[in-house]
Structure 1
């Protein structure tokens, strides 16, 4: 069975690129590489110029303090804001220091009871 009619092949896709790629030969491969590099640089320049200006985050004006907690005999590191003297961070935390002190006290009582 034969079907007659006009055979329409789909049209090639149209490119929005204003500079078409050259075809044929070794010189064309160099031209393609140059074209790709130019497009890449243009896209990079567009991205940089269109991006919002970025600012560095402001770092707090702080100082580090290192001390020994007497009840636990452990080092404590504190980060303190120099402007207002408030503690920003502490390691170990106050809760951890309390747990260490309680466990140290209980361990001491257990050792005395066994002796």
Structure 2
């Protein structure tokens, strides 16, 4: 993807959707899943991911579970009940945004 700034505003929605699809995930796993799903087009850096995860946690949308894996502590993130509801809202908002953008960049094409 040529312009990484285009996805920056969608990072929280991406994280919420991934966690809705997977019971729990740790940070590196999230970055790798995004890379896999986008066939390498989208790379989320740690510098972008962890502030977004911390914000979602502070907002009460994520719970953190710490597990000892191979003598290392690993933080797993999972949605709270509120996070599950917010995911639905964010995905609807994203669908509306994409539809509007499609109408702007290609008025002949409709996502109806």
Rg comparison, structure with higher value: 1
How high is the TM-score relative to the length of structure 2?
0.30
TM-score normalised by length of structure 1? 0.29
